[in-house]
Homo-oligomer: A and B are copies of this chain.
Amino acid sequence: MAVASELSPALISKLTASKAASISLATLTTSQKNGALLAIADAIDASVPEILVANAHDLEAGTANGLTVGLLDRLTFDATRLANLSEAVRDLVKLTDPVGQVVHGMDMPNGVHLAQVRVPFGVIGAIYEARPNVTVDIAALALKSGNAVVLRGGSAAENSNRILVDIIQGALVATGLPAEAVQTIDELGREGARQLMAARGYVDVLIPRGSASLINTVVLESKVPVIETGAGVVHIVLDESANLEWAIDIVHNSKVQRPSVCNALETILVLESAAQRLLPFVLEKLVTSGVTIHGDERTREIFSRAVAVTEEDWGTEHMSLDVSVRVVASLEEAIEHIRTYSTHHTESIITNDVGNAEMFLAQVDSAVVMVNASTRFTDGGEFGFGAEVGISTQKLHARGPMGLAELTSTKWLVRGSGQIRG
């Protein structure tokens, strides 16, 4: 099953070491994993000056290479960000270890005991862009869930990633764990990423993190199974019976609280029977927070400060203070719009009509479907998972916010006393 012919000896050597490390990791106790996490957090705290020096090299190169302000910001460490990073690692210690949890258990009629238990995947591959915090984040999540991890970060963060992996490996060895539990293949460049996607049999699952285009490439090219964390073209429907206050507050919160994240609102669909009653207030509140309204013709008739929406807007994840607005004839038309343009992340309806609420919940095919709640609640932390691995927009394995359990597989343990099949 492995496509070994496409893999360089350097990569095979690293991946073989990852697999060997994963075998040790799979049988560690929670205490051993927690000890390693605390050692990693302490080591980051103790190495702040060195990390900042490495990061400064990346920032210097990034500036010279003309990275945008946004990308440079994502690349930047400072003392506060590093403190938050080590604190996030410590937070994982408190979380329940998913490994060993019994998902199902029953006895067969002949007395054979069956238990389906959570086990680590084995080796997780991570492909991401110039956000060096992801290096620590993914390594810590993988470790807590008993997985070895092979990291391919963006070349723009190469120096930051290298020192972080060195620090993590030092902490692993100091606590008796194999250094190869966390490895980087950044030195293999783009070709390394391409080969990682072909490393079926060596890598059990691949997690891409970053832009839609990065994720799309990995999803389409990888021969290793992928957990897809996708973009959010998120919709809110304002039903005829929508409570005005809820509509104003939920739309505002969904759009404005943190516009750059995937659960932020992109499109409002309002029933025409409620447009005149709701839109002036809902949109006014948005405008006071600096939101640009991209409206269809009827929206602009009702709210003259709206600019004309384009066909492209409907499918765009703005990640900015922009919102698209359409007046629809019916709830069916709203659902049809969502079917056409949604990325199946999160959609919410504001309604007081029980039938319409249930219809929306049943017919909208998204990872999270809401009634009368802010789309910003689609979040591992809000859902009580403690840590968030990402928000899956695929249908296989995991859908919606993912916690540590989503970094595990299962296996069936069967305990008999000589039984054979009749």
Binding site for B on A (CB under 8 A): 1, 3, 23, 26-27, 106, 108, 112, 114, 116, 119, 121-122, 200, 204-205, 216, 219-220, 223, 225, 227, 243, 245-246, 249-250, 252-254, 257, 339, 348, 357, 361-363, 365-374, 376-378, 382-384, 394-397, 399-401, 409-421
Contacts and interface: CB of A to CB of B under 8 A. Distances in A.
Nearest to A215: B1
Given A369-B413, A373-B419, A374-B419, A384 B246 contact: no
Given A204-B395, A370-B416, A384 B106 contact: yes
B366 A253 contact: no
Contacts of A26: 362-363, 365
A106 B106 CA distance: 25
B1 A377 contact: no
A394 B253 CA distance: 41
Contacts of A371: 414-416
Given A367-B412, A415-B372, A421 B257 contact: yes
A311 B275 CA distance: 74
A395 B220 contact: no
Question: Helix, strand, loop or mixed for chain A's interface?
Answer: mixed
A396 B421 contact: no
Nearest to A245: B418
A165 to B, nearest CB: 25
Nearest to A401: B412
A369 B400 contact: no
A397 B400 contact: no
Nearest to A222: B223
Contact of A108 (B200, B216, B243, B384): B384
Contacts of A384: 106, 108
Contacts of A370: 413-416
A411 B363 contact: no
A195 to B, nearest CB: 15
Contact of A395 (B112, B121, B415): B121
A231 to B, nearest CB: 10
Contacts of A108: 377, 382-384
Contacts of A357: 415
A418 B200 contact: no
B250 A394 contact: no
A253 B400 contact: no
B394 A225 contact: yes
